[in-house]
Amino acid sequence: MKIALLGYGKMGKMIEEIIQREGKHEVNLKVTSANRSNITSSLLKNSDVAIDFSSPNAVEKNITLCLDAVVPLVIGTTGWYDDLEKVKSLCEEKNGALIYASNFSIGVNIFFELNKKLAELMKHRNEYEPRITEIHHAQKKDSPSGTAISLARDILQSSAIKKQWVNHEKAMSDEVVILSRREGTIVGTHRIEYRSAVDRIEITHEAFSREGFAQGAITAAEWIRDKKGFYEFREIILNDTRFT
């Protein structure tokens, strides 16, 4: 399978490293900030699938180019979800194939399910206050992380009290706090805490390297290659034998 890498930062380089090591696929196109303006849908047609770990301001153009080229697209970039419904409509209109995730780690997607279950159990436990803490390396551009936002949305969906999330320490009674910390070279830690006056419940996911994110994106690329439609990775990961 020929893979186009749309974005060649830390994640793009890790994906290429795994592809070269495993020898099952090849990277036939690398899009960087230097050559981004030269990329066309005609050029992308030489690829079987594209993987996007670029930036929020580049992802919309990448989506359009891939749909025009009829190239399935895996999107790991976050920060563009305000346009989610517009992109979904465009994908359906073009009869394209797209799968996205705030995090392609298998472990994180299992963590999403644990968070949803815990949030449901705590739905009417008003004595417990939920809080999310996310810690990443100092170079991470977005804050809070896309993963933390996904976790917060699942809590909000179950909560009878909480209506929105905020990215600061102080919050109103109907807000879920997300605390963001940027430290050194930390790959990624996400912590969900429910605290009462007498105890605390906590679940945590800690990533040791980016390889889990990259391997998940490659597996998603293998899955989407022969598909049509608009998918979220977390919707299929627990229901498809390729991911178990």
- pLDDT by residue (tens digit) across 96-147? 999 999 899 989 999 999 999 999 999 999 999 999 999 999 988 788 998 9
192 and 216 in one domain?
A: no
86 and 36 in one domain?
A: yes
> What pLDDT does 36 receive?
84
- 111 vs 10, 200, 201, 221, CA distance in Å? 23, 18, 15, 22
195 and 118 in one domain?
A: yes
Whole-model pTM: value is 0.83
Confidence of residue 241 (pLDDT cuts 50, 70, 90): low
CA 132 – CA 98 distance, rounded (Å) = 29
What is the total count of domains within the chain? 2
217 and 160 in one domain?
A: no
Per residue in 163-197, pLDDT tens? 999 999 989 999 999 999 999 989 999 999 999 99
154 and 74 in one domain?
A: no
CA 194 – CA 104 distance, rounded (Å) = 25
* Concatenated DSSP letters of 129-157: EEEEEEEE-TT--SSS-HHHHHHHHHHHH
> What pLDDT does 240 receive?
67
CATH number, domain containing residue 69: 3.40.50.720
Per the prediction, the chain carries an average pLDDT of 93
Place of tokens 């830390």: 10
Q: Which residues are catalytic?
A: 136, 140
93 and 30 in one domain?
A: yes
> What pLDDT does 198 receive?
98
Domain range enclosing 236: 2-100+211-243
CATH number, domain containing residue 152: 3.30.360.10
183 and 137 in one domain?
A: yes
